[in-house]
Amino acid sequence: SQTIHQWPATLVQPVGSPLSLECTVEGTSNPNLYWYRQAAGRGLQLLFYSVGIGQISSEVPQNLSASRPQDRQFILSSKKLLLSDSGFYLCAWSPRGTEAFFGQGTRLTVV
Amino acid sequence: AQSVTQLDSHVSVSEGALVLLRCNYSSSVPPYLFWYVQYPNQGLQLLLKYTSAATLVKGINGFEAEFKKSETSFHLTKPSAHMSDAAEYFCVVGGSPFPRGAQKLVFGQGTRLTINP
């Protein structure tokens, strides 16, 4: 069966510090991968998606970037965090088409 | 283009009562429709999905949803609420893919379900 791992679960970072969140999927190959952000009391906003190694598409301009160095690894990064980057970050994967399966999320607080 | 509207931001019911969470969608292509549940500080878990087979879809934890094309609705119901059902619920529409096949999912704003003892 397929599983998705996302870490860390919580993170407190100072403004201006770098960020690296990692997500890995097991039990499948060539998945579509996604990063979402959920601000407090709001729905999910798609940040990035990837259909293959090194192929990243950004949905919204922002202070973040994503990379996919391996087939089942998806990384969300920032060089310098802003207060507005605080939120709940969710990684997800999907087979070709239909539903997505989510990781447990990372609660990021920028102070 | 696709969009989804969850008609209630907060629903409160008594334990044992009927749960009804309302969702309307808009889609220019035959939609895929999903309901996800999110417990506090956790990821989203798929409750059920509609992909153009039976219009009444049964999911986990006793939930079901009915696809009504004429009303562009996909309401979620459960006959008898349990305390463990307290969570945030998201209605999601898909089916209009990004280039190269990535699934574009459009999320509603969520409905917070509270269960009163």
Least confident segment among A93-102, B83-92, B96-105: B96-105
pLDDT at B36: 96
Contacts of B69 (CB under 8 A, 6+ apart): none
Q: What is the pLDDT of residues A37-59, one digit of tens each?
A: 998 767 788 999 998 999 998 88
Q: Do A96 and B44 make contact, defined as CB atoms within 8 angstroms?
A: no
User: Does residue B18 have a pLDDT over 90?
Assistant: yes
What is residue B101's predicted lDDT score, i.e. its pLDDT? 63
Q: Are A92 and A36 in contact (CB under 8 A)?
A: yes
Distance CA B103, CA B96 (A): 7
pLDDT of residue A71: 95
**Alpha carbon of A57: minimum distance to chain B alpha carbons (Å):** 10
> Within chain A, which residues score under 50 in pLDDT?
none
Whether B63 has its CB under 8 Å from any CB of chain A: the answer is no
- Quick one: which of B30, B20, B35 has its CA closest to B92? B35
For residue A105, give both structure tokens.
């999320």
| Contact state of A105 with B97 under an 8 Å Cβ cutoff | no
Among residues of chain B, what percentage have pLDDT more than 90?
72
Is residue B95 over pLDDT 90? no
pLDDT at A1 (0 to 100): 86
Weakest mean pLDDT among A103-107, B27-31, B88-92: B27-31
The arithmetic mean of pLDDT across residues B82-101, rounded, is 83
pLDDT at A60: 80
Give the model's pLDDT for residue A33. 93
Contact state of A102 with B105 under an 8 Å Cβ cutoff: no
Nearest to B87 by CA among B27, B30, B47, B32: B47
CB distance B20 to B32 below 8 Å:
no
C-alpha dihedral sign at B35, B38, B43, B47 = negative
φ, ψ dihedrals at B63, nearest 5°: -85, 150
Distance CA A86, CA A53 (A): 27
Phi, psi angles (nearest 5°) of residue B62: 80, 5
Residue of B97, B101, B109 lying closest to A42 (CB–CB): B109
Q: Which residues of B touch A101 (CB under 8 A)?
A: 46
Mean pLDDT of chain B: 91
Q: Considering only alpha carbons, which residue of chain A is nearest residue B46?
A: A101
